[in-house]
Every structure is written in C-alpha cells, then in structure tokens.
C-alpha cells in the first residue's frame, strides 16, 4: 500500500522561508515522479513543482520560479520543497503526490494517483 506523508508547514511572515518534506512508502522511487501541489480555499489545485526521482530537471510553476527549490535525498527517500521569499498568495494547503505517468512540464493532478494528506502553509502580510 502506497503512503505519502508531508510535513513542515506552518505560519510565517511574508519574506520568510519554510521547508516542506515528503516521504513515500510502498512504491519504487525510481519509477515515479514526485511533485508538490497546492490548493487555496475556493481555488483549483495548482501544480507547484515536480521532479523525476530517477533524475532530470525539476519543473516549477511560473509563480514560484526563483523562490522555491525542489530537491530529494535518495538515502532518506525524502523530497523537499524549500520555499523562500514567501508571499501571502502562497498561502494554501500543500500536497505531495506521486505519479508513474508524469509528462514533464504538465501539471495534471489526475495523473497523480498517490497523495498525501496535505500540510498547511500560511503566510501573513
């Protein structure tokens, strides 16, 4: 059984930083892409960043380029999202998701079958 777990959310002032973590069990990492999505109240789920565990370039939404960095620790099988220069509009529930069918550059939530429960990020102005 696949289980995805996020952590690291919280409340931070605008301009601050947070680092989210994501671990997954029950899947072969090399066969998957792991990504971050976010959803604010009343809005659609939005892709933030994604990377293939086996390697290759990371992909970022335009709204976070230059501020967010996705990385992975192979030994710990953990994915990170370093979020710097946070803005109030970054406030959302952040989800980690896994897909074996991710097309690079395409953020389609329906192609990600495995999801975590989410971690709340709140940025105050």
DSSP annotation string for the chain: --EEEEE--EEEETT--EEEEEEEESS-GGG-EEEEEEE-TTS--EEEEEEETTS---EE-TTTTTTEEEEEETTTTEEEEEE-S--GGG-EEEEEEEESSPPTT---GGG--EE---EEEEEE-
Q: Is the predicted pLDDT of residue 113 greater than 90, yes or no?
A: yes
Confidence class for position 97, pLDDT limits 50, 70, 90: very high
Region 91-120: mean pLDDT is 93
The pLDDT score that the predictor gives to residue 29 is 80
The pLDDT score that the predictor gives to residue 12 is 98
Q: Is the predicted pLDDT of residue 66 greater than 90, yes or no?
A: yes
Region 121-125: mean pLDDT is 97
In the chain, the percentage of residues whose pLDDT exceeds 70 is 100
CA distance 42 to 113: 22
């Amino acid at each position: 059984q696949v289980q995805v777990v996020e952590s690291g959310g919280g409340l931070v002032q605008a301009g601050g930083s947070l680092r989210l973590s994501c671990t997954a069990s029950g899947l072969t990492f090399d066969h998957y892409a792991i990504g971050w999505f976010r959803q604010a109240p009343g809005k659609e789920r939005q892709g933030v960043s994604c990377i293939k565990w086996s390697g290759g370039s990371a992909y970022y939404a335009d709204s976070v380029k230059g501020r967010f960095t996705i990385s992975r620790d192979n030994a710990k099988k953990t994915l990170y999202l370093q979020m710097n220069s946070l803005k109030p509009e970054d406030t959302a529930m952040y989800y980690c998701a896994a897909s074996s069918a991710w097309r690079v550059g395409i953020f389609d939530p329906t192609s990600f079958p495995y999801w975590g429960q989410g971690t709340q990020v709140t940025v105050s102005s």
